[in-house]
Amino acid sequence: MLVIVAPGQGSQTPGFLSPWLELPGFADRLAAWSDLAGRDLIAAGTTADADEIRDTAVAQPLLVAAAIAAAEDQLANDSARVSRQSVAVAGHSVGELAAGVLASVISSDDAIRLVRVRANGMAAAAAAEETGMTAVLGGDEDAVLAAIEACGLTPANVNGAGQIVAAGTLEQLATFAENPPAGARLRPLSVAGAFHTHHMASAVDALAAAASTVRAADPLRPLLSNRDGAVVKSGPDWLDRIITQVSAPVRWDLCMQTMATLGVTALIELPPAGTLTGLAKRALRGIRLVGLKTPDDLDAGRKLLAEHTDSHADSHAPEWRLLVAPLAGTFRAPDGHPAAAGPGAGVTAGTDLGHVEIRGGNHRVAATFPATIIEWLVEDGDPVSAGQPLVRLLPQAAE
C-alpha cells in the first residue's frame, strides 16, 4: 500500500516553487488560487525571502496550493486518477487540507478558501501574545512530555522518531530551555506563535464559521487524521477534526502507526518535500520513499503510484477510533454519564464524555459521532497529557 503525504508549515524554503512553475498549467492554477487566498502565491514561492514566507498568513496557503497542484496536475495528471489509486492520504497540520482534497472530501477551491481563514486567524492569534515553539530531539519520551508539562507548555507536535515540539509563551519556553530533559537537544523554531495549543482558540472560532458553508463528502480513500491517527470515514467528522486541530496537538506519530497497521510499504511526500520522508525513514524503516522536491522527482513518484492499483485500499483500516485529551490537565468524567457503565455504553454525537481541568478553567471532551464505548483508557482524576488517548470508540457505522 502507498500513502501520499502533504507537509505542514515550516517545510517551506525560499524559491521552492520556481521549478514547478515551468510545468504546463501549474502557474495558471497558482494564479487562480492567489485570488482565493488573498496572496500572490507565485511571488511567495519564487521571489519572497525567508522572513516573508515565515508569515503564517503566507506560508499556509502557499503550502496547501503547492501540494494540491503537484498531486492533481502533475503526479497523477488528473484528480480522478488519484481517487482511483490504492493509496491512503495524510497531511501534517495545514497539510491536512491538501489531503482532504486528494480524498475528494472537499474541492481544491474550498481548501484554499479555508486555509486563508485558518492562516489569517492563526496569525492574528499569534500576534496577540508572545508565544513560540521549540523542537525537542531525542531523550526519553515520557521524561520529555513530563518536562514539557511541568513548564506549562503543550506538546503541540508529537512527530515520532524522537521528535516532539513544545509550544507556549516565550517565558515558559525560556524556563524549559534552562532545564532541558536529560539526553534531549532543544532547537527553537522560527515560527510566529504557539500553534496547535489553546493560544489558537480564536482561530478555531473563525475557521468554524467559514467551514459552516462548506460541504464535506465522505472520503473516497483512506484519510488519516492528525488528532489520533484514525482513518476517517465521514466528511463532516473530518471537517470537525480540521477545525479543532488548530488548537489541539498534531499526533503524526499515531498517523505513522496507522500507516504501519495498514501495511504501507511506500510513501510519496508532496512539495516542498523532505520533512515527512525524514520522519518516515526513521519510524517506518524499510519502506520506499519518494520526496517531490523538484519536478525531476515526478517520474519516480508516478512509477510508485502506478504500482499501487489494488482497489481494496482500506480493507484493513482499523474501525475503532481514539478520543484524545485536547490539553494537559486532570481528566474528569461527569457523574451519571453512560461511561460509568463501562464498555458497551452507547453515545451520540455531542455526548459529554467529561472534561480536562486546566489552570483557569476546563476543556470539554465530547463525542463527534455516534459510537459505542470499547474501553476507557483513563479514570476520573487521572492526570493526562495533551494528545493522550482517553477512550476507544467504535463508530456506529462500523458495528
Q: What's the pLDDT score for residue 261?
A: 84
Residue 38 scores a pLDDT above 60:
yes
pLDDT tens digits along 209-258: 999 999 999 998 999 999 999 999 999 999 999 999 999 999 999 999 99
Q: What's the pLDDT score for residue 344?
A: 78
Cα separation, 298 vs 86, whole angstroms: 18
Q: What's the pLDDT score for residue 379?
A: 86
Give me the number of domains the chain comprises.
3
Q: What's the pLDDT score for residue 268?
A: 97
364 in the same domain as 289? no
Q: What's the pLDDT score for residue 144?
A: 94
CA-nearest of 178, 173, 130 to 148 is 173
pLDDT tens digits along 269-291: 999 999 999 999 988 988 999 99
Residue partners of 206: CB distance under 8 A and separation at least 6? 117, 118, 120, 121
105 in the same domain as 207? yes
385 in the same domain as 360? yes
Share above pLDDT 90 across residues of the chain, in percent, rounded to a whole number: 65
381: left (phi over 0), alpha (psi -120 to 50) or beta: left
Q: What's the pLDDT score for residue 313?
A: 42
Confidence grade of residue 80 (pLDDT, cut at 50, 70, 90) = very low
- Does residue 311 sit within a domain? no
For residue 272, say if its preceding peptide bond is cis, omega within 30 degrees of 0: yes
Residue partners of 182: CB distance under 8 A and separation at least 6? 139, 140, 143
302 in the same domain as 205? yes
- Among 274, 306, 338, give the residue marking a domain's end: 306
Q: How far is CA 213 from CA 39, 79, 93, in A?
A: 22, 23, 22
Q: What's the pLDDT score for residue 2?
A: 94
Q: Is 79 a catalytic residue?
A: no
Q: What's the pLDDT score for residue 128?
A: 93
pLDDT tens digits along 312-364: 444 445 567 777 777 778 988 876 454 445 677 888 877 888 888 877 667 77
Q: Is 93 a catalytic residue?
A: yes
pLDDT tens digits along 141-156: 899 999 999 999 999 9
- Does residue 313 sit within a domain? no
- Does residue 299 sit within a domain? yes
- Does residue 146 sit within a domain? yes
Q: What's the pLDDT score for residue 218?
A: 93
Could you tell me the three cell numbers for 228? 489520533
Confidence grade of residue 387 (pLDDT, cut at 50, 70, 90) = low
Q: How far is CA 85 from CA 206, 268, 287, in A?
A: 34, 13, 18
32 in the same domain as 143? no
Among 165-179, 199-213, 286-300, 302-316, the range scoring the smallest mean pLDDT is 302-316
Residue partners of 142: CB distance under 8 A and separation at least 6? none
- Does residue 85 sit within a domain? yes
343 in the same domain as 292? no
207 in the same domain as 72? yes
| CATH code for the domain in which residue 378 is found | 2.40.50.100
Q: State which residues form the domain around 326.
A: 321-398
Q: What's the pLDDT score for residue 362?
A: 75
Share above pLDDT 70 across residues of the chain, in percent, rounded to a whole number: 91
219 in the same domain as 111? yes
Q: What's the pLDDT score for residue 156?
A: 95
Q: What's the pLDDT score for residue 316?
A: 47
Residue 100 scores a pLDDT above 90:
yes
Instruction: Write down the catalytic residue from 92, 196, 198, 199.
Output: 196
Supply the pTM of this predicted model: 0.78
How does strand 87-91 pair with strand 2-6? parallel
Q: What's the pLDDT score for residue 1?
A: 86
Instruction: Write down the catalytic residue from 86, 93, 104, 234.
Output: 93
Confidence grade of residue 6 (pLDDT, cut at 50, 70, 90) = very high
